[in-house]
Amino acid sequence: MQNTDSRNILLSIIGIAILFVAVIGISYAIFMFTGKGMKKNTISTGNISMTYTESDNVIAIDNAVPMSDSAGKLQKEYFDFTVSANINGKAAIDYEIRARRTDYKNNNRLPNNCVNIYLEKEMAGKYKSVLEPKTFIPKDTDLENTYVNKDSMLLYKSTVNSEKNATITDKYRLRIWIKENACSYDRVMTYKLKVDVYSELSKK
């Protein structure tokens, strides 16, 4: 009899405790809210690569003589290079082809005004002029977010566009020659030029 009573009391205490916890739990649950989102918001990156490729031929004119612009544009000594863009996604890339002198420390360097620079771009299988004969003149860049050597000369700028995915290849041909009646010199002089390509996402 006593055992039964004790068991009943114990069961009652357990029942009350369970009820207490349940009531407290329910009471608190009423005053908190969680709205869980089901929709995912996702960004995935694509791919952009720019490549500048130089051909094996370089301009190396020994004992160069002054020549006219019409002759200079046709001379068989030239330098070919390619600018390629591989874009996954919709994008526009601005790029600039620039040239810089690499012989500033050379005492026998030809002055800038003695040499013409001429650039062509391949269009529909033929090379056409994009920079008429011009002497070296440093010019600032239009690119805003890319460091560009300020002592370089802008030869040509262009934009490549991709709507979804695109591989674009632009071919260029560079010629240089000593201008007619521009300079006189009494010793061996040199003229060294290097081509660089800079690019960034277009702001347009």
Partner 1 sequence: MKETEQLDKNYSKKIFISLLLVTLLVVVVISFSFAAFIKTEGGISNTIHSGEITMNYLEKTNGISIENALPTSDEKGMVQLGENEYFDFIVNTKLVGNMKAIYEIAAIKDEASTIPDNEIRLYLEQEKSGTYTKVMKPNNFIPSPKETKIGTPKGAMVLKRVVRKRGKKEIKKEKVTKTIDNYRLRMWLGEDASVGGNKTYTVKINVYGKTE
The closest alpha carbon to 176, from 35, 27, 71, 83, belongs to 71
Q: Which is nearer to partner 1, 142 or 163 (CB)?
A: 163
Q: Which is nearer to partner 1, 29 or 65 (CB)?
A: 29
The closest alpha carbon to 197, from 168, 170, 164, 165, belongs to 170
Q: Which is nearer to partner 1, 1 or 188 (CB)?
A: 1
| Smallest distance, partner 1 to C-beta of residue 157, A | 20
| Smallest distance, partner 1 to C-beta of residue 168, A | 16
SS3 of residue 94 by DSSP: strand
| Smallest distance, partner 1 to C-beta of residue 95, A | 16
| Smallest distance, partner 1 to C-beta of residue 162, A | 9
Residues in CB range of 79: below 8 A, 6 or more apart: 54, 55, 57, 58, 59, 173, 174, 175, 195
Q: Which is nearer to partner 1, 43 or 65 (CB)?
A: 43
| Smallest distance, partner 1 to C-beta of residue 12, A | 5
The closest alpha carbon to 136, from 180, 76, 192, belongs to 192
The residues binding partner 1 (CB under 8 A) are 1, 5, 12, 15-16, 19-20, 23-24, 27-28, 31-49, 88-91, 201
Q: Which is nearer to partner 1, 43 or 124 (CB)?
A: 43
CA distance 35 to 38: 10
Q: Which two tokens stand for residue 193?
A: 């030029």
Residue 69: C-alpha distances to residues 74, 116, 133, 176 (Å):
9, 8, 7, 10
